[in-house]
Amino acid sequence: MNGLTFDIAHLLAGGLVLVSFMMLYQDRLFALINVFALHAVVLALSVAWQAYIQDAHHLYVTAAIALVFKAIVIPVGLHRIIQRLGIHRDIETAVGIGPTMLGGIGLVALSMVLMLRVTPEADPLAREDLAFALSIILLGLLVMVTRRNAVSQVVGFMSLENGLVLAATGAKGMPLVVEISVAFSILIAFIVIGVFLFRIRERFDSVDVGALDDYRGEHR
Protein backbone atom coordinates (compact mmCIF):
# COMPACT_ATOMS: atom_id res chain seq x y z
CA MET A 1 0.00 0.00 0.00
CA ASN A 2 1.43 3.34 -0.84
CA GLY A 3 1.70 6.13 1.71
CA LEU A 4 -0.92 8.42 0.22
CA THR A 5 -3.89 6.05 0.37
CA PHE A 6 -2.97 5.20 3.94
CA ASP A 7 -2.65 8.86 4.86
CA ILE A 8 -6.03 9.73 3.36
CA ALA A 9 -7.73 6.84 5.17
CA HIS A 10 -5.98 7.96 8.32
CA LEU A 11 -7.06 11.55 7.76
CA LEU A 12 -10.72 10.64 7.22
CA ALA A 13 -10.88 8.34 10.25
CA GLY A 14 -9.09 10.94 12.35
CA GLY A 15 -11.54 13.53 11.06
CA LEU A 16 -14.36 11.36 12.31
CA VAL A 17 -12.86 11.35 15.79
CA LEU A 18 -12.44 15.11 15.59
CA VAL A 19 -16.11 15.58 14.67
CA SER A 20 -17.01 13.32 17.59
CA PHE A 21 -15.11 15.75 19.81
CA MET A 22 -17.05 18.62 18.26
CA MET A 23 -20.23 16.86 19.26
CA LEU A 24 -19.10 16.82 22.88
CA TYR A 25 -19.20 20.57 23.33
CA GLN A 26 -22.29 21.53 21.31
CA ASP A 27 -24.82 22.86 23.74
CA ARG A 28 -27.60 23.65 21.29
CA LEU A 29 -29.72 20.97 19.71
CA PHE A 30 -29.67 22.28 16.17
CA ALA A 31 -25.90 22.65 16.27
CA LEU A 32 -25.56 19.15 17.63
CA ILE A 33 -27.65 17.73 14.81
CA ASN A 34 -25.66 19.66 12.23
CA VAL A 35 -22.44 18.29 13.64
CA PHE A 36 -23.97 14.82 13.51
CA ALA A 37 -24.78 15.34 9.83
CA LEU A 38 -21.14 16.35 9.30
CA HIS A 39 -20.11 13.21 11.17
CA ALA A 40 -22.16 11.11 8.76
CA VAL A 41 -20.68 12.89 5.74
CA VAL A 42 -17.15 12.21 6.94
CA LEU A 43 -18.14 8.60 7.58
CA ALA A 44 -19.51 8.29 4.06
CA LEU A 45 -16.28 9.71 2.65
CA SER A 46 -14.20 7.38 4.76
CA VAL A 47 -16.24 4.33 3.72
CA ALA A 48 -16.08 5.35 0.09
CA TRP A 49 -12.30 5.67 0.37
CA GLN A 50 -12.14 2.21 1.89
CA ALA A 51 -14.26 0.94 -1.01
CA TYR A 52 -11.79 2.51 -3.42
CA ILE A 53 -8.60 1.19 -1.84
CA GLN A 54 -10.03 -2.27 -1.08
CA ASP A 55 -11.64 -2.36 -4.50
CA ALA A 56 -14.85 -3.54 -2.81
CA HIS A 57 -17.79 -2.15 -4.73
CA HIS A 58 -20.42 -3.08 -2.22
CA LEU A 59 -18.85 -0.63 0.22
CA TYR A 60 -19.98 2.19 -2.10
CA VAL A 61 -23.52 1.09 -1.27
CA THR A 62 -22.70 1.36 2.41
CA ALA A 63 -21.29 4.81 1.86
CA ALA A 64 -24.41 5.81 -0.05
CA ILE A 65 -26.62 4.48 2.73
CA ALA A 66 -24.63 6.45 5.28
CA LEU A 67 -24.83 9.59 3.20
CA VAL A 68 -28.56 9.35 2.42
CA PHE A 69 -29.89 8.18 5.74
CA LYS A 70 -27.50 9.52 8.30
CA ALA A 71 -26.42 12.74 6.69
CA ILE A 72 -29.81 13.72 5.24
CA VAL A 73 -32.88 11.74 6.34
CA ILE A 74 -32.18 11.41 10.06
CA PRO A 75 -30.89 14.99 10.64
CA VAL A 76 -33.85 16.42 8.73
CA GLY A 77 -36.16 14.20 10.72
CA LEU A 78 -34.57 15.30 13.97
CA HIS A 79 -34.86 18.95 12.95
CA ARG A 80 -38.56 18.46 12.36
CA ILE A 81 -39.01 16.67 15.66
CA ILE A 82 -37.30 19.50 17.50
CA GLN A 83 -39.44 22.05 15.77
CA ARG A 84 -42.61 20.17 16.49
CA LEU A 85 -41.60 19.65 20.08
CA GLY A 86 -40.65 23.29 20.31
CA ILE A 87 -37.35 22.79 22.10
CA HIS A 88 -34.87 25.23 20.65
CA ARG A 89 -33.44 26.17 23.95
CA ASP A 90 -30.02 25.22 25.36
CA ILE A 91 -29.12 21.66 26.15
CA GLU A 92 -28.44 21.25 29.80
CA THR A 93 -25.25 19.24 29.77
CA ALA A 94 -25.10 17.11 32.91
CA VAL A 95 -21.32 17.45 33.15
CA GLY A 96 -19.34 20.57 32.38
CA ILE A 97 -17.75 20.90 28.93
CA GLY A 98 -14.18 21.03 30.26
CA PRO A 99 -14.27 17.72 32.17
CA THR A 100 -16.16 16.12 29.26
CA MET A 101 -13.45 17.10 26.80
CA LEU A 102 -10.72 15.87 29.16
CA GLY A 103 -12.60 12.60 29.58
CA GLY A 104 -12.91 12.30 25.81
CA ILE A 105 -9.16 12.77 25.38
CA GLY A 106 -8.57 10.07 27.98
CA LEU A 107 -10.91 7.70 26.17
CA VAL A 108 -9.17 8.22 22.84
CA ALA A 109 -5.80 7.60 24.48
CA LEU A 110 -7.16 4.45 26.09
CA SER A 111 -8.52 3.05 22.84
CA MET A 112 -5.25 3.82 21.00
CA VAL A 113 -3.14 2.10 23.65
CA LEU A 114 -5.46 -0.84 23.78
CA MET A 115 -5.90 -1.41 20.07
CA LEU A 116 -2.25 -0.99 19.20
CA ARG A 117 -1.39 -3.46 21.93
CA VAL A 118 -3.84 -6.21 21.12
CA THR A 119 -3.46 -6.18 17.32
CA PRO A 120 0.29 -6.12 16.69
CA GLU A 121 0.20 -8.47 13.72
CA ALA A 122 -2.85 -6.98 11.96
CA ASP A 123 -2.74 -4.89 8.79
CA PRO A 124 -1.66 -1.33 9.83
CA LEU A 125 -4.64 0.25 8.10
CA ALA A 126 -7.10 -2.01 9.90
CA ARG A 127 -5.25 -1.35 13.19
CA GLU A 128 -5.58 2.40 12.92
CA ASP A 129 -9.13 2.03 11.75
CA LEU A 130 -10.08 -0.13 14.70
CA ALA A 131 -8.42 2.23 17.17
CA PHE A 132 -10.29 5.22 15.72
CA ALA A 133 -13.55 3.24 15.62
CA LEU A 134 -13.23 2.32 19.29
CA SER A 135 -12.59 5.99 20.14
CA ILE A 136 -15.72 7.02 18.24
CA ILE A 137 -17.80 4.38 20.01
CA LEU A 138 -16.56 5.50 23.42
CA LEU A 139 -17.10 9.18 22.57
CA GLY A 140 -20.64 8.36 21.41
CA LEU A 141 -21.27 6.66 24.74
CA LEU A 142 -19.82 9.68 26.50
CA VAL A 143 -22.28 11.93 24.63
CA MET A 144 -25.14 9.71 25.74
CA VAL A 145 -23.96 9.74 29.34
CA THR A 146 -23.33 13.47 29.63
CA ARG A 147 -26.68 14.60 28.15
CA ARG A 148 -30.08 14.72 29.70
CA ASN A 149 -32.16 15.49 26.68
CA ALA A 150 -33.55 12.45 24.91
CA VAL A 151 -32.88 13.90 21.45
CA SER A 152 -29.20 14.39 22.20
CA GLN A 153 -29.01 10.88 23.58
CA VAL A 154 -30.38 9.64 20.27
CA VAL A 155 -27.68 11.61 18.48
CA GLY A 156 -25.02 10.08 20.72
CA PHE A 157 -26.37 6.63 19.92
CA MET A 158 -26.27 7.32 16.19
CA SER A 159 -22.68 8.53 16.32
CA LEU A 160 -21.76 5.39 18.25
CA GLU A 161 -23.22 3.36 15.42
CA ASN A 162 -21.08 5.32 12.95
CA GLY A 163 -18.06 4.04 14.84
CA LEU A 164 -19.31 0.49 14.38
CA VAL A 165 -19.69 1.00 10.64
CA LEU A 166 -16.18 2.40 10.45
CA ALA A 167 -14.79 -0.66 12.26
CA ALA A 168 -16.78 -2.97 9.99
CA THR A 169 -15.59 -1.40 6.77
CA GLY A 170 -11.97 -1.41 7.95
CA ALA A 171 -12.17 -5.18 8.33
CA LYS A 172 -11.95 -6.63 4.86
CA GLY A 173 -14.51 -9.08 3.64
CA MET A 174 -17.52 -7.90 5.61
CA PRO A 175 -20.58 -8.96 3.62
CA LEU A 176 -22.95 -6.29 2.35
CA VAL A 177 -26.01 -7.94 3.80
CA VAL A 178 -24.65 -7.44 7.32
CA GLU A 179 -24.07 -3.75 6.70
CA ILE A 180 -27.51 -3.27 5.22
CA SER A 181 -29.14 -5.04 8.12
CA VAL A 182 -27.16 -2.90 10.58
CA ALA A 183 -28.24 0.23 8.69
CA PHE A 184 -31.87 -0.83 8.74
CA SER A 185 -31.79 -1.72 12.39
CA ILE A 186 -30.45 1.76 13.10
CA LEU A 187 -33.22 3.27 11.04
CA ILE A 188 -35.82 1.25 12.90
CA ALA A 189 -34.24 2.24 16.22
CA PHE A 190 -34.48 5.84 15.07
CA ILE A 191 -38.18 5.45 14.25
CA VAL A 192 -38.97 3.70 17.49
CA ILE A 193 -37.07 6.26 19.52
CA GLY A 194 -38.81 9.04 17.59
CA VAL A 195 -42.20 7.60 18.42
CA PHE A 196 -41.16 7.32 22.02
CA LEU A 197 -39.99 10.91 22.07
CA PHE A 198 -43.46 12.05 21.12
CA ARG A 199 -45.09 9.77 23.63
CA ILE A 200 -42.80 11.07 26.36
CA ARG A 201 -43.50 14.59 25.28
CA GLU A 202 -47.26 14.04 25.27
CA ARG A 203 -47.22 12.73 28.77
CA PHE A 204 -44.66 14.91 30.47
CA ASP A 205 -44.49 18.11 28.40
CA SER A 206 -40.75 17.61 28.15
CA VAL A 207 -38.21 15.30 26.58
CA ASP A 208 -35.89 15.63 29.53
CA VAL A 209 -35.42 12.01 30.61
CA GLY A 210 -35.32 13.32 34.16
CA ALA A 211 -39.09 13.65 33.89
CA LEU A 212 -39.29 9.89 33.46
CA ASP A 213 -37.32 9.44 36.61
CA ASP A 214 -39.60 11.82 38.47
CA TYR A 215 -42.53 9.83 37.19
CA ARG A 216 -41.00 6.64 38.57
CA GLY A 217 -40.66 8.39 41.91
CA GLU A 218 -36.86 8.44 41.83
CA HIS A 219 -34.38 11.14 42.58
CA ARG A 220 -31.59 12.29 40.40
Residues that bind other proteins (CB under 8 A): 94, 107, 110-111, 113-114, 117-118, 138, 141-142, 144-145, 148, 153, 209-210, 212-213, 216, 218, 220
Q: Please report how close the Cβ of residue 59 comes to other proteins at its closest, in angstroms.
A: 28
Residue with smaller CB distance to other proteins, 53 or 210: 210
Residue with smaller CB distance to other proteins, 8 or 116: 116
Q: What would the 3-class secondary structure string for 160-215 be?
A: HHHHHHHHHHHCCCCCHHHHHHHHHHHHHHHHHHHHHHHHHHHHHCCCEHHHHHHH
Q: Please report how close the Cβ of residue 100 comes to other proteins at its closest, in angstroms.
A: 12
> Other C-beta atoms within 10 Å of 79: how many?
15
Q: Please report how close the Cβ of residue 218 comes to other proteins at its closest, in angstroms.
A: 6
Distance from C-alpha of 172 to C-alpha of 57, rounded to nearest angstrom: 12
> Other C-beta atoms within 10 Å of 110: how many?
13
Q: Please report how close the Cβ of residue 109 comes to other proteins at its closest, in angstroms.
A: 10
Residue with smaller CB distance to other proteins, 79 or 127: 127
Phi-psi region at 11: left, alpha or beta (left = phi > 0; alpha = psi -120 to 50): alpha
Distance from C-alpha of 218 to C-alpha of 183, rounded to nearest angstrom: 35
The DSSP element (H or E) to which 84 belongs, if any, is helix 74-85
Q: Which of 52, 53, 26 is closest to 39 using CA atoms?
A: 26
Residue with smaller CB distance to other proteins, 89 or 216: 216
Q: Please report how close the Cβ of residue 145 comes to other proteins at its closest, in angstroms.
A: 5
Residue with smaller CB distance to other proteins, 94 or 195: 94
